[in-house]
Structure 1
Amino acid sequence: MRGEPGPRPLSATLGLTLASALVWGLAHLRAGRRTAGVVLLSVYGTLLAVGTAAATVLRPEALGLLARPGRLAGVAVATVLAGLWWAALIVASYRVLRPSPLTGVRHALARGVVGLMCAAVLLPSFYAARLAYVGREVVTTVFAERGAAADADPWRGRHRVNILLLGADAAPSRPGARTDSMSVAAVDTRSGRTVLFSLPRNLQHVPMPEGPARRMFPFGFTGDGIPGRPALLNEVYQWAEDHPAMVPGVPAGRRGPELLKRTIGGILGLPIDYYAMVDMKGFARIVDATGGVTVTVKHDIPYGLEGGVLRAGTRRLSGQEALWFGRSRSDGDDYIRMGRQRCLLDAMARQADPFTVLRSFERLADAAKRYISTDIPQESLPAFIALSSKIKDARLESVQFVPPLINTAAPDWALIREKVSAATGAPPASAHRARGDRDAGDARSPEPSPGPTTPFPAEQVPLNASCN
């Protein structure tokens, strides 16, 4: 029997329509259309189970699948179609319930309520499609496309991936950019354990990697050789950009990162696989996009050029305040500043909850496209997303090569490599054995298995650290 005899009150019809919008098929079952109702309810249950699994147990895998431009474009189209289909189902549910004949105000009210229900499912689907489109733009703009087939497990045979993290800054008083923040995250691909090696910007006499740079600076980097002003590690990036012959065959915009990867790889005795760099203007934009960052400041810090002060205490900093907080040297030296920068990044990572990221997604995406650069390929994004879930649950440790451990004017390069080896548990590497110096080896060749080295007591970064 199809349908029920007699009219149904408008309030009951709209209530059942709403219920069917929330749980597909209820209206059809109530109207006696059992086959259609069971089919709709089964589809709803299946989609709900798949969505729950994707959001919980399979979340890294689901996010990894979405980190591909083609799939993101498909998601944008699919969400729009799903919204249209859902709205059509709401209208069909209302019609199948056969309300009593309506005229005038009651008819307009019914149409308005059903229209609101349709809008309630269409607007989120259109917004989700917009986010998918913006995400696709970020992936294609920021991450390199190498055209290689994605490896199901790019970490197979690799115990560690090493990523150079850079914070670049430019000033009106000088051309180009300086990489004032330089750290290498050495990530264990099996456990997610991460050791962060921080290098001060003012390291002098930096040994250069084999090739044109070593031939020009056989006794360490001297830059322009200006009398009385030693060349520092933070100048290598711009030097490479300004001197194409130092990194032959590498295009502008990539020369600086490439030479710096090889240089820092030689210093640490680690092959640097990838880099990621954020312009400090972009850092301020990212902080503002998320509504600020909360940190605990132990001591007052002079702020700005007009006598402002960042007062001690737990406070929420704007992007400009956070940028000054991370850059200021007026209350200490480079090494105090390095500690604040590390703690500031940690605070941002802890406070970047999914709701905040979703709410600010478009502004974050705009800042990422304009101020972040990396050579991590698009094909590796799913693997990095899966690895990030391990990193979140593992230890994060820090080693800073600052005085008194290291004299920045006359660094002990062998000691640095020994400390890196002890902290990672890997055998010591010879100087300059960076990824760019391997003439015939595959950049993805397996690293030696960790030896019986006693781990160096790296500082474990506390999650509630103060930032001063």
Structure 2
Amino acid sequence: MLWGVAHLAAERRKTGLALMAAYVLMLAGVLTVFTAFSVNLLSLAVQPRWLSVLTAALVAIALIWTGVIVWSFLLVRPARSDAVGRFLTTTLTIALCALVLAPTAYATRLAYLSRDVVNTLFRPGSTAPVMAQDPWNGADRVNFLLLGGDSAPGRPGVRTDSMTVASVDVESGATTLFGLPRNLQQVRMPDGPARARFPWGFTGAGPGTPGLLNEVFQFAEDHPDMVPGAEKGKRGPTLIKQTIGEILGIDVDYYAMVDMKGFAEIIDAMGGVQVTIKEPIVYGRHREGMLAAGTRKLSGEEALWYGRSRTDSDDYVRMGRQKCLLNAVAKQADPMTVLNSFERLAAATKRAISTDLPQDLLPAVVNLADKVKDAKMRSLSFVPPLISTADPDWHLIRGKVAEALDDRPSTKTAAHTPSPSPDAPINLDSACG
């Protein structure tokens, strides 16, 4: 396994020393990449072009290493008369070659899956040089709309029953989650065809659509005139981003929507998620069981019911649990967890997630996510008694958003957080246990 030793034993000193030097340089280069540039390495893992380069480099190193092993064997193998020695050294050589080639094959497989996920989920971009200098175009914050989509038999289309805007400070990673209830009524529409059609707020299109916020996404998909020029599949995301931006008084930059059933698959691929359950929660559509109070690791299906159950509670309690679940996933999805279950995660992600994030922005998002994991995450939900869902006070909502974003928390989690007032952002690290 040390290049050049066999050559020195065979009195090929120049070749042996050259191979040793190459070996030391290679190890130094690999260690440098995986230590000093580990964060940049994660960024490269979401860029298809660099994935191809890294894959080619790994394959080249593995083939050269295998060649050195075989070459060394040929130089020092026992004589033909030593059958036992030949057998043992041949077996050892094959094992050493396998030890080098197997991890390379696995890494190549991961690179292929990663490239496939990136190309499937994220649209290509064309502004890489500009993005590399300032990916956020001078903005202090970037706002991501996180949607939970739910479809049901006998009900066409998708309802966005979970709607949260994550506003992230690009310097510190400190994040404030703004939660909007699905049953918000008389929703103010953005300027343009949408407001022209609903000048006094969104009212839907008849008994089948009573005019709730969770219907806006599918309504746009079904009515192309609401978002002129947008193709099918993009009308819903465009209008819901503009509508929620209008409600909160901020620009919503990007969205990501997770199908509820696919969310359970993602949790299972992670090996479960640990949460603190404050009160027992009914489990299953027919009350098959109970999620007992306490800190425990939930399976995908259990996590889905933790986030969705309204039995013995209401929409607003459920919204709080959903944010706790988002916080837990964000904190627990560490690189080793992702790597160990990468293939299952990749398959579940392609089925469950849709987004408008461009590929060029992914390295910056990876770096930002690393900051978010070590920063405070707070939550402000616009639910009763702060906001009446039947007659919302839009000025109050915008004012509370502005106050929350002006009050920037420290990047470190406090040891103790005083109980907040009902209309103040809640520190999720403390509130979720």
Could you state the TM-score of these two structures normalised by the residue count of structure 1? Answer: 0.83
Q: Secondary structure at the match of 1:235?
A: helix
Q: Which moved further from structure 2: 350-359 or 179-188?
A: 350-359
1:465 is aligned to 2:429: no
1:206 is aligned to 2:187: yes
Equivalent of 2:116 in 137, 142, 146: 137
CA RMSD, Structure 1 to Structure 2 (Å) = 2.1
Give the structure 1 partner of residue 266 of structure 2: 286
Equivalent of 2:30 in 36, 51, 61: 51
Are the structure 2 counterparts of residues 413 and 53 from structure 1 closer, same or farther at C-alpha, using a change threshold of 3 Å?
farther
CA contact (8 A) 2:172 2:375 kept: yes
Q: Deviations over 1:247-270 (max 9, x none)?
A: 111111111110000000011111
User: How many aligned residue pairs are there?
Assistant: 415
CA contact (8 A) 2:330 2:373 kept: no
1:302-313 pair list within 5 angstroms: 302-309=282-289, 310-313=291-294
1:212-361 pair list within 5 angstroms: 212-226=193-207, 230-309=210-289, 310-361=291-342
Are the structure 2 counterparts of residues 292 and 419 from structure 1 closer, same or farther at C-alpha, using a change threshold of 3 Å?
same
- Give the deviation of 1:345 after TM superposition: 2.0
**Paired letter, 1:44:** Y
Give the structure 2 partner of residue 90 of structure 1: 69
CA contact (8 A) 2:45 2:114 kept: no
How far, CA to CA, are the matches of 1:63 and 1:77 in structure 2?
A: 17
Give the structure 1 partner of residue 92 of structure 2: 113
How far, CA to CA, are the matches of 1:115 and 1:330 in structure 2?
A: 60
How far, CA to CA, are the matches of 1:201 and 1:146 in structure 2?
A: 32
Are the structure 2 counterparts of residues 124 and 230 from structure 1 closer, same or farther at C-alpha, using a change threshold of 3 Å?
same
Q: Deviations over 1:39-59 (max 9, x none)?
A: 333333333333333333322
Give the structure 2 partner of residue 4 of structure 1: none
Q: Deviations over 1:290-337 (max 9, x none)?
A: 222222223222211343222223332221121112111002011111
- Give the deviation of 1:156 after TM superposition: 4.3
CA contact (8 A) 1:79 1:126 kept: no
CA contact (8 A) 2:221 2:232 kept: yes
Q: Secondary structure at the match of 1:135?
A: helix
Q: Which moved further from structure 2: 42-51 or 333-342?
A: 42-51
- Runs of 5+ in structure 1 lacking a partner? 1-20, 427-455
- Runs of 5+ in structure 2 lacking a partner? 408-422
Equivalent of 2:17 in 10, 31, 38: 38
CA contact (8 A) 1:82 1:125 kept: no
Q: Which moved further from structure 2: 383-392 or 91-100?
A: 91-100
Q: Deviations over 1:403-426 (max 9, x none)?
A: 221111111111111111111129
Structure with max Cα Rg: 1
How far, CA to CA, are the matches of 2:124 and 2:153 in structure 1?
A: 33
1:167 is aligned to 2:148: yes
How far, CA to CA, are the matches of 1:119 and 1:464 in structure 2?
A: 50
Are the structure 2 counterparts of residues 364 and 463 from structure 1 closer, same or farther at C-alpha, using a change threshold of 3 Å?
farther
Q: Secondary structure at the match of 2:205?
A: coil
Give the structure 2 partner of residue 447 of structure 1: none
Q: Deviations over 1:234-290 (max 9, x none)?
A: 110011111111011111111111000000001111111111111111101111112
Q: Secondary structure at the match of 2:162?
A: strand
How far, CA to CA, are the matches of 1:38 and 1:416 in structure 2?
A: 71
How far, CA to CA, are the matches of 2:368 and 2:165 in structure 1?
A: 16
Could you state the TM-score of these two structures normalised by the residue count of structure 2? Answer: 0.90
Are the structure 2 counterparts of residues 184 and 225 from structure 1 closer, same or farther at C-alpha, using a change threshold of 3 Å?
same
**Paired letter, 1:139:** V
- Give the deviation of 1:344 after TM superposition: 1.5
- Give the deviation of 1:463 after TM superposition: 6.4
